[in-house]
Structure 1
Amino acid sequence: MAVLLILLALGLLIAGAWAGLSVLVLAPLLAVLAALAADAPVLAAYTQVFMEAAGGFVVSFFPLFLLGALFGKVMDASGAAQILARAIATAVGPANAILAVVLACAVLTYGGVSLFVVAFVAWPLARALFAETGLPARLIPATIALGAFTFTMTALPGTPSIQNAIPMATFGTTPFAAPGLGLIAAAAMLGLGMIWLRYRARALQADTPPVMPPASLGDVPMPLWAAVAPILSVGVVTLAMGWMVLPALQTGYLALPQYGETDLARVGGLWSVITALTVALVLALVLSRPPELMKTLNEGAESALLPLFNTASLVGFGAVIATLPGFEVLRQGLDGLAGGNVVVTAALSSGALAGITGSASGGMSIALDVLGPSLMAQAVAQSVDPALLHRVVSVATGGLDTLPHNGAVITLLGICGMTHRQAYGDIFMVAVLAPILACALIIVLGSTFGSF
């Protein structure tokens, strides 16, 4: 009965999101109702659990959301993102319109542009390419989702995404944790996703009216290198910070109470990503020179708030669920399925919480807050490299997170002017099923050969 209560709350969250209700309203409401149904102290659950978890997430990751949104807005307003997307589309060719959109989204998100911004940038490009080649418009959301929501978010080593940053503090790793496994997972997601989209394109093309082309995207007087340089700088600066700059610093002061009694291993990865996004933002401002600079920065800052607070609200919902009796029953059931294997336990627990919250970063934060010390202890006992746990947790949360109540899914469908009924099935195949299969693959490889 206790587990059914959790499933009911999750079902209502999905149904409400499907109907178009904001998770800012849904998440706290359902968290309170779940606490009430479980006979937990409702006000304490809201103020001491929901708000503490939501606020903690904002405190920890506000800089990443802000810098990512500012960078994305500058790239968008200046036309740099469009130039880069068009260059990729030209290089791949109109006959490969689906792959062109996927790669354009992937380059932008791997370069640090927020996936919400990428969705806005990719929509007119995808619409034009799909119209030119007669592809069905209902596949555009899934095509963008494959490029922006999957392998560049969780698998590719070095990605500055929040989903790759969160595990670093728990496991003492870097953004490049288990790079070989990350590349294999990325290839699996991309390959499976492309197979599905091409199959669906052939099946739907004969019965689908052509996409109406958008208005002209216009010409932006900017050389390609100026659009590429800020994107490239993200990876270069992240590597330089992690391998050269930070290790050379004296950081003993981090052990003091006013700095959280921590060490460089726990904060170095976050510092690297913050620095890399800052450098990329400055480069974008200097090289692309967006018009109406003040307006661009203001809009970029404001655009960070909705995804940040949507995610924080879902984190609060998940935190309340984690205090209910049914969660412990669910956790023990997942442990039983894992058979004592810490890698499988990490994947199942973090993936389940990502599904409950509808957020990879939200589910990951809760899972590592609750289970992080236990997972590390088990990893030491089983001689498992923390880098393997980092990559598996990251990839595992990038599957079930993309259920219908996911904020990015709702935003993407709104941008494309489509409903869940029209487009979610294909999103599920490329952004839920494919990442789950990729995660299973690297769990087998990591358990057999270790981290690499």
Structure 2
Amino acid sequence: MLGVIGVIISLILLMYLAYRGITVLVLAPILALFATIMSEGANAHIMATYTEIFMKAFAGFCKSYFPVFLLGAIFGKLMDDSGAAKSIAHAIAKKLGKSKAIPAVVLSCAVLTYGGVSLFVVAFAVFPIATQLFREADIPKRLIPGSIGLGAFSFTMTALPGTPQIQNAIPMPFFGTDAYAAPVLGIIAAVLMCVGGIFWLTYRAKKASIAGEGYGDHPDENVNTIDVDKLPNVWLSMVPIIIVLVFNYVLGKVYFAGTDMAYLKDYGTDLGKVKGIWSLIISLVIAIIFTIVSNRNRLKETKKTVNQGAIGSLLAITNTSSEVGYGNVIQSLAAFLIIKNAILGISSSPLVSEAISVNVLAGITGSASGGMSIALGVLGKQYLEMAQANGINPEVLHRIAALASGGLDTLPHNGAVITLLGICGLTHKESYKDIGMCSVIIPLCTLIIVLIFASLGVV
């Protein structure tokens, strides 16, 4: 019992101290070893646990996903520095106009995120355009973070089939799936989240208008104006995004699916475990090359852009790898068997159990990718076995895991939420209610509905 208490305390400390700003790189190993001592007492082998369990899991996650983090960050930085991201956002905003400021911001973020541009780059690229639209439409600035969050942190991150975001990539090796897993469920979820979020934000804007609240006075607002004449052609800017989506589909669904790669047995793996990651890696490489070549006159310092993108990927991958290492240490403890049985005993359905475990761990770690990696690393094999025994398509497990990662992850201590508020120059008090509704409450309700559809056999 003391071991279970130790695990629970370590999880609470992980959430609280991460919220207080202490890096997970330090917290994860310390709290993992704390849980080990609480569970094993005098029999705890601290150094062996650290090097042979924590660091092995850390390295294993890096091995599997580092290329996706690296290439995604470089691609996002190239799209940002070339002006392509701003060109796409500006074109969408201009087309919809100030009368539809909220849908314009949401759609701008959605297109960029679905195309593989990182969430943080999207926020930086769209914010200046959002301020202009909201000011012209006299919509409170405090609704901008919710609008960006809806477009970047919800349906394009976890629901839409084919999205190259890491939250859609992590389940692939566990279930032998690709980025387009369970497309019908994904589309249903995306529509529910998008429509529900826009309805909420529009309602909030109308309520503010009735109360006489406009954009507001923000004397410290420092937004760089965009020189539209210097932006690249919008259609040319869209090509890299199309490349990612098309090549990802063709490689995963056609090329690799029809290829015999028996030699992979010599490497200790099989095609089902790598085809999804390989498809995404190749697609991002082709998109990066095209972006560099097509914007060679705008990318004055291509080397600097690529280097900055590469360096920027390191913190994200090491943070998530640390959380995976933490999860594997917890998994190794005798006390975890009690917790594991409790989680699996929540429901006889592996889908419900998976949805709850991923969501809770994502909320505790404040990370969609971190929470999902821990949950699937610890219980993914059992969920797959349970699904196969119940005749459930592994693609459904993939989509439910991805959707579940995008719920409680964006509680107030989430790093992306804090960064977004910092970009917008607003506080939790001013804007978190709308962020929470669009990226926590509506996605959780959507997840429940999708679970119902999944139980009816929809894939």
TM-score (norm 1): 0.92
Residue 236 of structure 1 aligns with which residue? Answer: 246
Task: Mark the CA change 1:412 to 1:42 in structure 2 (over 3 Å): closer, same or farther.
Answer: farther
1:78-89 alignment, distance < 5 Å: 78-89=82-93
Task: Mark the CA change 1:93 to 1:350 in structure 2 (over 3 Å): closer, same or farther.
Answer: same
Secondary structure, counterpart of 1:16 in structure 2: helix
Structure 1 unaligned blocks of 5 or more = none
Task: Mark the CA change 1:360 to 1:93 in structure 2 (over 3 Å): closer, same or farther.
Answer: same
Determine if contact 2:328/2:377 at 8 Å carries over to the other structure. Answer: no
Q: In the alignment, does 2:235 pair up with 1:225?
A: yes
Of the structure 1 ranges 101-110 and 412-421, higher mean CA displacement relative to structure 2 is found in 412-421
Residue 141 of structure 1 aligns with which residue? Answer: 145
Post-superposition shift, 1:203?
A: 4.1
Mapped partners of 1:315, 1:405: distance in 2: 19
Mapped partners of 1:419, 1:34: distance in 2: 34
Determine if contact 1:128/1:214 at 8 Å carries over to the other structure. Answer: no
Secondary structure, counterpart of 1:66 in structure 2: helix
Post-superposition shift, 1:325?
A: 5.4
Post-superposition shift, 1:427?
A: 2.0
Q: In the alignment, does 2:375 pair up with 1:374?
A: no
Determine if contact 1:18/1:420 at 8 Å carries over to the other structure. Answer: no
Mapped partners of 2:242, 2:94: distance in 1: 20
Residue 327 of structure 2 aligns with which residue? Answer: 318
Post-superposition shift, 1:263?
A: 1.5
Mapped partners of 2:127, 2:359: distance in 1: 29
Mapped partners of 2:371, 2:243: distance in 1: 29
Task: Give CA deviations for 1:164-193 in whole Å, capped at 9, x if unaligned.
Answer: 112221212221111011000111111222
Post-superposition shift, 1:197?
A: 2.0
**350, 360, 372: which one pairs with 1:364?**
372
1:67-106 alignment, distance < 5 Å: 67-106=71-110
Task: Mark the CA change 1:333 to 1:129 in structure 2 (over 3 Å): closer, same or farther.
Answer: same
Aligned-residue identity in percent: 49
Determine if contact 1:168/1:390 at 8 Å carries over to the other structure. Answer: yes
**206, 211, 214: which one pairs with 2:223?**
214
Task: Letter of the 1:297 partner, please give it.
Answer: V
Mapped partners of 1:371, 1:102: distance in 2: 34
Q: In the alignment, does 2:446 pair up with 1:438?
A: yes
Mapped partners of 2:369, 2:90: distance in 1: 30
Task: Letter of the 2:190 partner, please give it.
Answer: A
Of the structure 1 ranges 28-37 and 167-176, higher mean CA displacement relative to structure 2 is found in 28-37
Determine if contact 2:6/2:34 at 8 Å carries over to the other structure. Answer: no
Residue 123 of structure 1 aligns with which residue? Answer: 127
Q: In the alignment, does 2:273 pair up with 1:266?
A: yes
TM-score (norm 2): 0.90
Mapped partners of 1:232, 1:420: distance in 2: 35
Task: Letter of the 2:24 partner, please give it.
Answer: V
Post-superposition shift, 1:31?
A: 3.1
Residue 307 of structure 1 aligns with which residue? Answer: 316
Secondary structure, counterpart of 1:337 in structure 2: coil
Residue 351 of structure 2 aligns with which residue? Answer: 343
Determine if contact 2:168/2:179 at 8 Å carries over to the other structure. Answer: yes
Query: What is the total number of aligned residue pairs between the two structures?
Result: 447
Determine if contact 1:128/1:213 at 8 Å carries over to the other structure. Answer: no
Residue 416 of structure 2 aligns with which residue? Answer: 408
Mapped partners of 1:136, 1:41: distance in 2: 56
Q: In the alignment, does 2:337 pair up with 1:333?
A: no
Post-superposition shift, 1:422?
A: 3.7
Mapped partners of 1:321, 1:147: distance in 2: 34
Task: Mark the CA change 1:71 to 1:151 in structure 2 (over 3 Å): closer, same or farther.
Answer: same
Determine if contact 1:73/1:297 at 8 Å carries over to the other structure. Answer: yes
Of the structure 1 ranges 129-138 and 391-400, higher mean CA displacement relative to structure 2 is found in 129-138
Of the structure 1 ranges 25-34 and 132-141, higher mean CA displacement relative to structure 2 is found in 25-34
Residue 162 of structure 1 aligns with which residue? Answer: 166
Residue 180 of structure 2 aligns with which residue? Answer: 176
Mapped partners of 1:12, 1:73: distance in 2: 34
**363, 374, 385: which one pairs with 2:393?**
385
Mapped partners of 2:37, 2:213: distance in 1: 49
Determine if contact 1:314/1:358 at 8 Å carries over to the other structure. Answer: no
Residue 290 of structure 2 aligns with which residue? Answer: 283
Mapped partners of 1:321, 1:129: distance in 2: 48
Task: Mark the CA change 1:126 to 1:313 in structure 2 (over 3 Å): closer, same or farther.
Answer: farther
Residue 21 of structure 2 aligns with which residue? Answer: 20
Cα-Cα RMSD: 2.2
Mapped partners of 2:224, 2:430: distance in 1: 24
Mapped partners of 1:183, 1:323: distance in 2: 37
Task: Letter of the 1:429 partner, please give it.
Answer: M
Task: Give CA deviations for 1:68-113 in whole Å, capped at 9, x if unaligned.
Answer: 1111111100101000000111122112222111111111111011
Task: Give CA deviations for 1:384-404 in whole Å, capped at 9, x if unaligned.
Answer: 111111111111111122233
Residue 251 of structure 1 aligns with which residue? Answer: 261
Task: Mark the CA change 1:92 to 1:406 in structure 2 (over 3 Å): closer, same or farther.
Answer: same
Mapped partners of 1:3, 1:124: distance in 2: 48
Task: Letter of the 2:340 partner, please give it.
Answer: R
Of the structure 1 ranges 38-47 and 345-354, higher mean CA displacement relative to structure 2 is found in 38-47
Post-superposition shift, 1:4?
A: 5.0
Task: Letter of the 1:279 partner, please give it.
Answer: I
Determine if contact 2:114/2:164 at 8 Å carries over to the other structure. Answer: yes
Task: Letter of the 1:276 partner, please give it.
Answer: S
Determine if contact 1:112/1:231 at 8 Å carries over to the other structure. Answer: yes
Task: Mark the CA change 1:140 to 1:273 in structure 2 (over 3 Å): closer, same or farther.
Answer: same
Task: Mark the CA change 1:437 to 1:44 in structure 2 (over 3 Å): closer, same or farther.
Answer: farther
Residue 68 of structure 2 aligns with which residue? Answer: 64
Post-superposition shift, 1:136?
A: 2.4
Post-superposition shift, 1:7?
A: 4.3
